[in-house]
Amino acid sequence: MDLALLGFGNVGKAFARLLAAKTQELQEEYGFLPRITAIATKKHGICIDPDGLDEKALLHLLDGSKPMDLSVLDRMDFEGDTFEFIRQVPAHILVETTPVNPHSGLPALDYLRAGARRGLHLITANKGPVVYGFRELTELTSQHNRLFRFESAVMDGAPIFSLFRGPLAGAKLHGFYGILNSCTNLLLERMRNGETLEEAIAYGASIGITETDPSNDVDGWDAAIKVAALSNVLLGQSLTPMDVKPTGIRGITPEMIASAEAQGKRWKLVCQGGWKEDGYKVGVKPEMVSPGSPLYTVDGTSSFVSFELDVLPGLGILESDPSPKTTAFGLLADLIDIVKSETR
């Protein structure tokens, strides 16, 4: 099974390492050999080899101390833009891990459209195309008997969307709530330990959790796009992050943190979506939670989501301190699902 990787940041690199580590297991357990035949990036160049990129050479580049230049692995002397790459690449599956655009899903959405029209299976860890193109990409891929998969888009490698295609297929989902942005969860914890928001952001940046401009996290937009993704895919909505109208944690002061502590409570950025008596409602806003809430003990960079179903009133999924490796696992799970679909 030949794979083309579009984007090769921390998640893409972790996925390449995971494939190398799991090659024998995938052959023995699932009967297929994964091969990366191409990688396209903005920073590190482009490489294509129809016979599969040299795995040892690729891992050597990943582990090297020098800036990575993927062109040394190229065997096609490729020239062209990303869309030409998608048109020419010798692959069965396009794996997209480029940066998210919460306002339109572009350009990743256009890349995936091009891949679908060419007849490739699609795997993405990108929330944008899921929110803005779930139905379209599902339809485009199905026209070619291909699949669109995106398990890593909301909670890294935690199984969410696959649960509703499989084990929970007979259950009716009414709504969900939880902590979907691990960055703000860490920031609030640091503030609870005496830091200002600015100090907490600086710490997050030092360990690679926050960006130089952390506004997407701090102002609730990352959480909002995840709420929109869950709502659109699992509950039939057509929402954008703007429809969610998030309130972030920028207004949480040390005094508010101290007041919550005095009451035995904690501030959390709570995400929710679901059916109410007056229609479908969504929200992202800071709330004080009590020790009896499952959100109270979600610490550090962990995430949690609870689903309200007709037969399971409170099914919760906790992901503790995720990393690029856990996101890469979600990509691998999607790959295995696609391979299984071709043998059914």
In the block, tokens 């992050």 appear at 241
**pLDDT band of 213, cuts 50, 70, 90:** confident
Catalytic residue of the set 13, 226, 268, 285: 226
The Cα–Cα gap between 21 and 37 comes to 17
| CATH superfamily membership of 2-157+324-343 | NAD(P)-binding Rossmann-like Domain (3.40.50.720)
Fold of 173-319: Dihydrodipicolinate Reductase; domain 2 (3.30.360)
B/e letters for 245-281, b = 16+ CB within 10 Å, e = fewer, are ebbbbeebeeeebeebeeeebbbbbbbbbbeeeeeee
pLDDT given for residue 208 in this prediction: 81
pTM: 0.96
Q: What are the extents of the domains in the chain?
A: 2-157+324-343, 173-319
pLDDT at 29 over 90: yes
Average pLDDT estimate for 297-309: 97
In the block, tokens 């035949």 appear at 37
Q: What is the pLDDT of residues 52-72, one digit of tens each?
A: 999 999 999 998 878 899 999
| 226 has catalytic annotation | yes
Q: What is the pLDDT of residues 105-147, one digit of tens each?
A: 999 999 999 999 999 999 999 999 999 999 999 999 999 999 9
pLDDT given for residue 344 in this prediction: 74
> What is the Cα 219 distance to its own chain's centre?
19
Average pLDDT estimate for 101-108: 95
Which pairs count as long-range contacts for 251-255, CB under 8 Å and 24+ apart, including other chains? 251/286, 252/188, 252/191, 252/197, 252/286, 254/191, 254/196
pLDDT at 211 over 80: no
pLDDT at 82 over 90: yes
Two tokens, residue 33: 């050999």
How much is the mean pLDDT over the chain? 96
pLDDT given for residue 197 in this prediction: 94
